[in-house]
Structure 1
Amino acid sequence: MYRKKFLGIFFIFLSLIIVILFSYFKFFGNNKSKIVHIENKEEVYNSNLIKDVEYSTKDKNNNEYFIRADEGEIDFSNPNIIFLKKVYAFIKLIDSREITIVSDFGKYNSENYDTIFSKNVKINYLDNKIAGEYLDFSLERNLMIISKEVSYSNLDNIMKADVIEINIKSKDTKIFMQDQKEKVILKSKN
């Protein structure tokens, strides 16, 4: 009789320990620490989420690139990739004026400084304003590709297109529609 009670209690405790260990490893076992280098400070994070992210760099041609976001999340599979929220970028190109870019989201590559901006992308350059839903900005390729519901305006004109490609170095620009049957819409403000 006592042996049956003892075995019953033993199996209950054993089951409880197994459930506790399983729960611990399920919820806490995959928590990896990450060392992040930001503004000459090293901090250890138990998560891949960082508040108030800032990066700045100069390329080999002395172009300056500054990016800031309210929040960043490091991709554990590729630590050079950081997913950003509420993004602001400032670009000062040599032999050119400043470019500012804002968007709801971004994907920044800290290795080559390429950045993809998405959702409510707004670009300001001199008196030119470009809005769209997607911007692929690459210092490495010297290229900006703005797409999805693109609108462009300056002091004199308003234009609607599907894609605007700008060579950052030469300033050569291509404006086109994805469907060749459709036409770019250009209206004068005057």
Structure 2
Amino acid sequence: MARVPTRIDAAIRHLDPAGTERVLEIGGGTGVAVEILLDTFPRLTCTAVDRSARAVDQTRRRNARFVEEGRLTVVEADVADLTAALGADATFDLALAVNVNVFWTRQAVHEAGALAAHLRPGGRLCLVYELPDGRRPREDVADRVVRSLDVPGLRTAVRAEDGLLVVTSRRDLGG
């Protein structure tokens, strides 16, 4: 496998899967992260959601074997429409998004609420951003992401790491 981009490696490391979870990836682009997760953890299952038809097609082609095995579902949808796309009962142990700009380009409380609704109690979310201005994440980006994730049931932490902004959240056990 080719060299793993730093941002994807960081997302997987901070997500810290045990290997048997149900994982939701938002905005997975070409499907690199789900490929790594499914290759590394043979009992893991993933759902990849992207609003781009092209990205959905690329993810399906790249990971055809996992789709055929039933370990990967790929859906074209916007994060705000997760319930319509996945069903109200779809829950995940872990969720990740790498360089998904909706959470920092505007206050995306609706999108964060939709995502939180699909995390099981105790479920974890990891958002990673590779910021264009180099090794020091801008505070305003971190502030915007935290404001977007300020929804009932999520507890959020932010850290800067090797030119990345890493945002992790956990859904409260109370639901």
Q: Return the structure number with greater strand share.
A: 1
Give the structure with the higher percent helix. Answer: 2
**Common topology (TM > 0.5):** no
TM-score, with structure 2 as normaliser: 0.29
Over alpha carbons, which structure has the higher Rg?
1
**Larger RCO: 1 or 2 (CA < 8 Å, sep 6+):** 2
What TM-score results when the alignment is normalised by the length of structure 1?
0.27
